[in-house]
Amino acid sequence: MKKKVVVTGMGAISPIGTSVEEFTQSLKEGKSGIRRISAFDTTGFDVTIAGEVKDFNPTLWIDKKYARKMARFTQFAVAATVQALNQAQLLEATEDGGQRISSDPDMTGVVLGNGIGGFEVVTESFHKLFDNGPRRMQPLTIPLMIGNEAAGNISILFGMQGPAFTQVTACSSGTDALGQALDLIRSGRCDVVVSGGSEACVVPFAIGGFQMLKALSSKRVNEPEKASRPFDADRDGFVLGEAAGILVLESEEHAKARGVPILAEFAGYGVSADAYHITSPDPSGEGGSKAIIRALKDAGVKPAEVQYYNAHGTSTEINDPTETKMIKRAFGEHAYKMKISSIKSMTGHCVAGSGGLEAIAAILAIREGFFPPTINLDHPDPECDLDYVPNTVQYGDINIAASGSLGFGGHNGVVVFKKY
């Protein structure tokens, strides 16, 4: 029998809050975190808005000397991990004034999702290399920029000596990391896994690159809060965001033995590949529907039992109607009866950070009985004819919620949570 896996801690760094409490309140209020970009001079860019994390001070969670040796996405991940481990009651003080996990180090792992790595480090180092030569480059350029840096730092800081690795499946990375963590606990390889995703790529190189793909919203630079509008007929692209969403996962027996509160059951995970196109999803929705069907089967859940589905919902011309088809294929007539929403309408698209953050949103929906809204859904696309909770939060009992992610390359991942 597979071990039952539960969630005992959550941490969030996002454009709409740098704690789970702030994040929850913003979801209920339908608060947008999309603003004009402050991280760099956007002169010459068509796209000048993003979902930035505002007023982030890493030293609230990380010792200053360590924070200086971390890329921004790693700082996000470590900060959210501290929040999650504190809620899970898994940190204990060390003699040198630090903190370590109180669980068995050999049975505690880290599985994080990241899509791009330390992009700001890459940008800065390239400038120094080409302007002043290699001797002026940051000595820690390589360890700062690589995508596994966050998982490595977390394992080092907290003494986790089980598996520590990074999942890279573009925008599905955070969700797929959770799925890998689920399997580690079910198989008995770990008792505890810190998992989720982190991304910080609001930098000129990323904005310019996505801009050239014609993927980003550029119509509403003077009203940025209205730019991300999933499933709306007047959408014109996604808004890039940055975030970290981290969950502490444990086997049920381990959590019960510790006597800590259990937030939800992590019941299932499904994964598939479209095998279609490097950036566009399969327009039939078949690939993504397979991930949903597999996740429900893994969780032992019938489609009609799901009350809430957190959609990928990017606000792009192709993704939104394709995802609508995907949901209909998987849920059948029940697709019209359940609530669906995209919190990217508030946060923007946080790439690998999306999966962890949106899993947290699904768990919060179960625990607090609310359906997060899809804001800016003023003129629904006729092809997107499901109940996408337009503009205003709704309330109701939720026993089962799912969250899905779709990534460049045709990667599809879906996770399912149950009320505990």
User: Catalytic residues, which ones?
Assistant: 171, 312, 349
Pairwise CA distance, residues 20 & 343, whole Å: 14
Residues linked to residue 5 through DSSP beta bridges, in sequence order: 251, 266
Residue type, 167: Q
d(CA 55, CA 46): 25
Q: Is the dihedral of CA 380, 290, 14, 266 positive or negative?
A: positive
What type of residue is 332?
A: G
What residues contact 44, with CB distance under 8 A and at least 6 apart? none
CB atoms inside a 10 Å sphere around CB 90: 23
Name the token pair of 71: 């890329």
Identify the residue whose tokens are 């970290």.
Answer: 244
